[in-house]
A = this chain, B = another copy of it.
Amino acid sequence: MSKLKLNITMSLDGYVAGPNPTLEHPLGEGGERLHQWAVATRSFREMHGMGEGGTTGEDDAMVAAMFDGIGATIMGRRMFSGTGGPWGDDPWRGWWGDNPPFHMPVFVLTHHAREPLALEGGTTFHFVTDGIHSALEQARRAAGDKDIHLAGGADVVQQYLAAGLVDTMLLHVAPLLLGDGTRLFENTNAKQSGYECVRAIASPAVTHYTYRKSAAAQ
């Protein structure tokens, strides 16, 4: 069966976004610094049409492999659009332009129904209003024998963790101390304690930790 794989960047003090997010700064104050390690890589620049250049090495390899073996993505509404509420007459089409880097079905958890949005390159956003179990079921059907990428944000990740549905976690820990913002490990019923670290790869910019459910927790 498809595995649900969390892949997210966190500050060393546990935040996946800074305080006071706005449409201009959707990751909150200082939050964009979390992703500098990824943005600096060659693969990120290629994926996002930013032209030549960028770093190679472990961080680049992490970005390059991000969607390997992945057939569907799940994310929260705020990760898709920065805000909540009704979609309005000219609804937001995501942060990623006309040709998003997913190239697969993306299931967006929201309280507000909306028709699917098909963009270039095989990315279709499906808006799921009946909760995390439904989104996972739809993602499994879409992914076939591939796995499912759990992208964020914190609220959706916490719901999947608390429900015991996350199979692996790839945590990119940037050595930043944001001091405030949105914590990843909250409201999880401590379920993260059922995972063990099976791999840690350090670069100067970030350390990549892979966790699997420990035998006792399976």
- Partner-B contacts on A (CB < 8 A): 12-14, 30, 171, 173, 175-180, 184-185, 188, 190-195, 197, 200, 202, 204, 207, 209, 211
Known: A175-B197, A177-B185. 9 other contacts (CB 8 A): A12-B171, A12-B173, A13-B14, A14-B185, A178-B193, A179-B190, A179-B191, A180-B190, A200-B202
Task: Please state if B180 and A193 are interface contacts (CB–CB under 8 Å).
Answer: yes
A194 to B30, CA, bound (A): 12
Task: Please state if B193 and A30 are interface contacts (CB–CB under 8 Å).
Answer: yes
List chain B residues, Cβ under 8 A from A193: 30, 177-180
Task: Please state if A197 and B209 are interface contacts (CB–CB under 8 Å).
Answer: no
A to B CB contacts below 8 Å, 12 in the list: A13-B14, A13-B184, A13-B192, A14-B185, A30-B193, A175-B197, A178-B190, A178-B193, A179-B185, A179-B190, A180-B190, A200-B204
Task: Please state if B180 and A200 are interface contacts (CB–CB under 8 Å).
Answer: no
List chain B residues, Cβ under 8 A from A180: 190, 193
List chain B residues, Cβ under 8 A from A211: 177
Task: Please state if A12 and B179 are interface contacts (CB–CB under 8 Å).
Answer: no
Task: Please state if A202 and B207 are interface contacts (CB–CB under 8 Å).
Answer: yes
Task: Name the contact of A209 in the complex, choosing from B14, B175, B178 (C-beta under 8 A).
Answer: B175
List chain B residues, Cβ under 8 A from A195: 177
Task: Name the contact of A192 in the complex, choosing from B177, B190, B209 (C-beta under 8 A).
Answer: B177
A132 to B140, CA, bound (A): 55
A-B residue pairs, 9 tightest by C-beta: A179-B190, A179-B193, A202-B202, A175-B197, A177-B192, A13-B185, A180-B190, A14-B14, A179-B192
